[in-house]
Amino acid sequence: MITLRDFKEEDKTALLNILNEPQVIKYLSSKIPTPYTLEDAHWWVFTGSKIGIVKAIEFKGELIGCIGAEKGLFEYQRSAELGYWIAKDYWGQGFATRAIKQFIPFVFETTDIVRLFASVFSGNTASERVLSKCGFQLEVIQQKAIFKEGEFFNSHMFSLLKA
């Protein structure tokens, strides 16, 4: 059983460990600083995680991931971009799927958002499978839409509409 909760000060050490793991951050936004420092973790816990809809993913009292939705602006205000990550030690055990399935009704029932979407880097087939299991549909593949660390990636855009 997982819990979605707010971030707390005790999460800073876990954030440092998880977000300095190259395999975890490979397909994450470059908004996440590298290397990830204690100051970055402090900012995230007390400021960054308060922006938008953001939850820590907890398992057996331990921070194992993060999930959030960033609401669009202006005419995109009823859509939100879904993002998530899971600590490497917990990959392949269904934690991302469980977190998303718990997060979807929370977002749709507590906000005016009617569309969740996620941009997945080409090569991140695990994330594509997770989104598909959660009811998201592939809308489009945008060629060379992502440029990170000197490399182009296609963006596989998935979406889910509120019923």
Residue 110 has a pLDDT of 97
What is the amino acid identity at position 141? I
**CA nearest neighbour of 99 among 114, 110, 87:** 87
Average the pLDDT over 122-138 and give the result: 98
Calculate the CA 5 to chain-centre distance.
Answer: 14
Q: Is the separation of the CB atoms in 48 and 40 below 8 Å? A: no
Q: How confident is the model at residue 73 (pLDDT cuts 50, 70, 90)?
A: very high
Whether residue 33 has a cis bond before it, omega within 30° of 0: no
Q: Quick one: pLDDT at residue 71? A: 97
Token pair 């941009």: residue: 119
pLDDT band at 162 (very low <50, low <70, confident <90, very high): very high
Identify the pLDDT of residue 99: 98
Give the pLDDT of residue 25.
97
**C-beta of residue 45 within 8 angstroms of C-beta of residue 55:** no
User: Measured between alpha carbons, how far is 161 from 5 in angstroms, rounded to an integer?
Assistant: 24
**Residue 5 pLDDT level (bands cut at 50, 70, 90):** very high
Of the pLDDT bands very low, low, confident and very high (cuts 50, 70, 90), residue 88 is very high
Per-residue confidence (pLDDT) for residue 95, from 0 to 100: 98
pTM above 0.95, yes or no: yes
How many angstroms separate the CA atoms of 135 and 34, rounded? 32
Computed over every residue of the chain, the mean pLDDT equals: 98
Q: Kindly indicate whether the domain formed by 2-161 is annotated with CATH number 3.40.630.30.
A: yes
Query: Mean pLDDT throughout 99-124?
Result: 98
- Torsion from C-alpha of 5, 8, 11, 16, nearest 10 degrees: 110
Question: Residue 85: which pLDDT band, with cuts at 50, 70 and 90?
Answer: very high
- Contact at 8 Å (CB) between 111 and 68? no
Q: Which two tokens stand for residue 90?
A: 């917990």
- The pLDDT, as a whole number, for residue 58 is 98
Residues 55 and 13: their CA atoms lie apart, in Å, by 17
pLDDT score of 107: 98
